[in-house]
Structure 1
Amino acid sequence: IFTEKPMATDSPGVRSVMESVQKAKDKGLGMLAGFCWRYDYPRRALFEKVLSGELGDILTVYGTYLTSPVKPMPPASSRPDGMSDLEWMVRNWYNFTWLSGDGLVEQACHTVDWLAWAKGDTHPVSCTAVGGRQIPANGGNIFDHIEVNYVWEDDTRGFIAQRQIAGCYNENSCYILGTKGKGFIDRRGVRTTMADGEAWRYKGESPNMYQVEHNEFFQSLREGKPLNNGDRMVNSTMMAIMGRMAGYSGKEVTWEEALNSDEVLVPETPNWDAPVEMRQLAMPGLS
């Protein structure tokens, strides 16, 4: 089973995916997550150093996903006469939380996954966030920028900055600070600098990560040892949803609160022709 990210857009969806992951394990089925950077050789090399302790104890991880809008919401005046609510929303799916999750959950979940990777796929205990909507939403209900502060049990901090606004500086990076050194994923490549002055930069081969993930998945199936990375995909997806919840509400959100939330974003019985409630854009402190 190939499962593209994000695996869910709300907490009930995550819990449903958790059940599916367990069923796949019970049946000996493979489940490959679409967190493609896990199959990128340069990043693998860096995170191997991180997880082996080469950088020492990890103190802070900071990631970014700063880019332009993925699918800008058209004005309501462009909606064809007779088009149903559901069709209008599906055609502009990125702009509705129940369909995309929002930019943090749908796109920047890759960067969230880097934070989780650096922490050995353990989950944070809480998070706070600030964010909002700078560009007119035109009836959509997702933020176009958010910054999340994650806190782990050992007091490690993880930060992520996400933005989808045209005409701004773009960046997709990760900075890892340890007690013995620093790790970097940025425009200058994948590299480390150590407290003693030693430096490393990845110079090995870098095959297409999308091909690598499928090659490794198919090989595991042929060998009768199917890969199942469902647990870590659920962890990273839930981290992104947790960050969105904190940003949209303006409140501190704990892992338990997020995972056990009963907030359902997906309509109970989507009907192509029936009216669908269009949730308003969240207002921190009020939503």
Structure 2
Amino acid sequence: MSQLSRRDFLKAATAITAMNIIPGARAGETGPLKVGLIGCGGRGNGAARDIMSAGKQLGIEVKVIAVADVFEDRAKGSQKGLNQAGADIKDDHVFVGLDAYKKLLETDVDIVILATPPGFRPEHFEAAVNAKKHVFMEKPVAVDPVGCKRVMSAGQKAKELGLSVVSGTQRRHSFSYRETIKRIQDGAIGDVVAAYAYWCQGGLWVREKHPNQSDLEWQLRNWLYFTWLSGDHIVEQHVHNIDVINWVMGTHPVSAFGMGGRQVRTAPKYGHIYDHFAVEFEYPNGARMLSMCRQIDGCDGRVSEFVVGTKGRSNCNGWIRGEKEWRYEGPNPNPYVQEHVHLLQSILKGEPINEAQNIAESTMTAIMGRESAYTGRTIRWEEMMKSEISLMPKELRFDMELPIPPVAMPGRPM
């Protein structure tokens, strides 16, 4: 009798597991894990490709079979591009419109990728959990305190239903970050007394408003520059670095004291968001984090994290210096793929992972910093948790007027 290789054995075991626990799998055939993409921009298409790559890495078939987007050109563009990459998206599984996500969730997909502008994330996450789908959701997961609390609640329901939830905080799935932070938490640098988080770079893409565009269409296509859609760049982008420090500290800050402004990107096409922030966050143990983010061309860049302890210091991502010198020398696969590997493994093993609370807290941390900068006030965590601030319009129609909000001015009523 021929002997199975270890690789063949693992593939066979994985297939058997899939038959037993994956929704829609039938005895005698494994079938692919079916994925639906909600939000067909660059990050959504990237995530769809990454989850298919993760399936190949694990030796299982993962197929994107449905896409949904507000705009037809986006949805059909995803269908074409992803099918060329190995997806199987039929015309009747391309959904368009403000309610497109609801139609996708009615299909037999096992996993949904949520990659629309973040303002929609709480509503879409709640709907996905109610539809009993496993979820990969891009960060951030909200743009306001009400949205964060909705995600926390839906995340708890997902846990009760045995659903896996992974967020797009890929540093948490990076081998070098994981090993370094484990050592920090095990005491390699003593007690952490100070932390630093940075995302400073040049400007990003921007979309001019065309004469035939409605307010809503333009803002949706130019979503980075409207707080109700992106949360401002401290939330949309810098949440990655803030999340790393929360991870190191094992908790969220208790307060934020911040400032920021709109010094260079002042044209109307840039909506009303800031182009720089600097925030001091205080943690329960009294440690402070200095958080800085900037999107201005022609300036020096820095995207990193750094922590100082009573016995050493670390970049959180590969080295520790001090009493115990150490450098990570192990493998470091692409974390954008690895986060999907971890999601698929959790589903196949029947051991759900749930990152909803962590990413909701990191999103709330970033929002707390934004609100401090916008108002000029020290903002405390309990204030955010009690806040009823909700930036999402009560209804959305393409014929509605949607004026650009005024730029936040610290010290003045908003």
Pick the TM interval, shorter chain. Answer: over 0.9
- Supply the AA of the counterpart residue of 2:265: P
Task: Give the 5 Å matches for 1:154-233.
Answer: 154-184=285-315, 190-194=318-322, 196=323, 198-233=324-359
Show CA shifts across 1:64-88 (max 9, x none): 10111222364xxxx3223211111
Q: Greater helix percent: which structure?
A: 2
1:247 and 1:259 mapped to 2: Cα distance?
18
1:32 and 1:223 mapped to 2: Cα distance?
15
Task: Give the 5 Å matches for 1:84-103.
Answer: 84-103=214-233
1:144 and 1:281 mapped to 2: Cα distance?
11
**Does the 8 Å CA contact 2:265/2:275 hold for their aligned counterparts?**
no
The answer to whether the aligner puts 1:80 opposite 2:210 as a matched pair is yes
2:296 and 2:137 mapped to 1: Cα distance?
28
The equivalent of 2:364 in structure 1 is: 238
Gaps of at least 5 residues in structure 1 are none
SS at match of 2:242: helix
The equivalent of 2:278 in structure 1 is: 147
1:216 and 1:80 mapped to 2: Cα distance?
42
Structure with more contact order per residue of length (Cα contacts < 8 Å, sep ≥ 6): 1
1:44 and 1:170 mapped to 2: Cα distance?
24
SS at match of 2:315: strand
1:252 and 1:129 mapped to 2: Cα distance?
7
Cα–Cα, structure 1 residues 182 and 101, in superposed 2: closer, same or farther, change >3 Å?
A: same
**Does the 8 Å CA contact 2:226/2:272 hold for their aligned counterparts?**
yes
Gaps of at least 5 residues in structure 2 are 1-134
The equivalent of 1:24 in structure 2 is: 158
The equivalent of 1:48 in structure 2 is: 182
The CA deviation at 1:138 is 2.3
1:11 and 1:82 mapped to 2: Cα distance?
34
TM-score (norm 1): 0.93
SS at match of 2:149: helix
**Does the 8 Å CA contact 1:270/1:276 hold for their aligned counterparts?**
no
1:141 and 1:123 mapped to 2: Cα distance?
28
2:255 and 2:210 mapped to 1: Cα distance?
44
1:270 and 1:91 mapped to 2: Cα distance?
14
The equivalent of 2:199 in structure 1 is: 65
1:211 and 1:91 mapped to 2: Cα distance?
27
* Count of aligned pairs: 277
Show CA shifts across 1:159-198 (max 9, x none): 111000011101111111000110025xxx731111x3x4
Moved >4 Å (runs of 4+)? none
1:88 and 1:218 mapped to 2: Cα distance?
36
The answer to whether the aligner puts 1:263 opposite 2:394 as a matched pair is no
The equivalent of 2:249 in structure 1 is: 119
**Does the 8 Å CA contact 2:216/2:402 hold for their aligned counterparts?**
yes
1:92 and 1:71 mapped to 2: Cα distance?
9
2:266 and 2:352 mapped to 1: Cα distance?
43
SS at match of 1:14: helix
2:341 and 2:221 mapped to 1: Cα distance?
33
Show CA shifts across 1:22-66 (max 9, x none): 110111111111111111111112101111111111101101101
2:318 and 2:206 mapped to 1: Cα distance?
32
Show CA shifts across 1:226-268 (max 9, x none): 1111111111111011110111111000001122211221111
* Counterpart among 264, 269, 273 of residue 135 in structure 1: 264
The Cα RMSD (Å) is 1.3
Structure label with greater radius of gyration:
2
1:51 and 1:199 mapped to 2: Cα distance?
15
**Does the 8 Å CA contact 1:71/1:95 hold for their aligned counterparts?**
no
- Supply the AA of the counterpart residue of 1:19: S
1:268 and 1:156 mapped to 2: Cα distance?
39
**Does the 8 Å CA contact 1:267/1:276 hold for their aligned counterparts?**
no
- Supply the AA of the counterpart residue of 1:130: M
TM-score (norm 2): 0.65
2:345 and 2:284 mapped to 1: Cα distance?
36
The CA deviation at 1:215 is 1.0
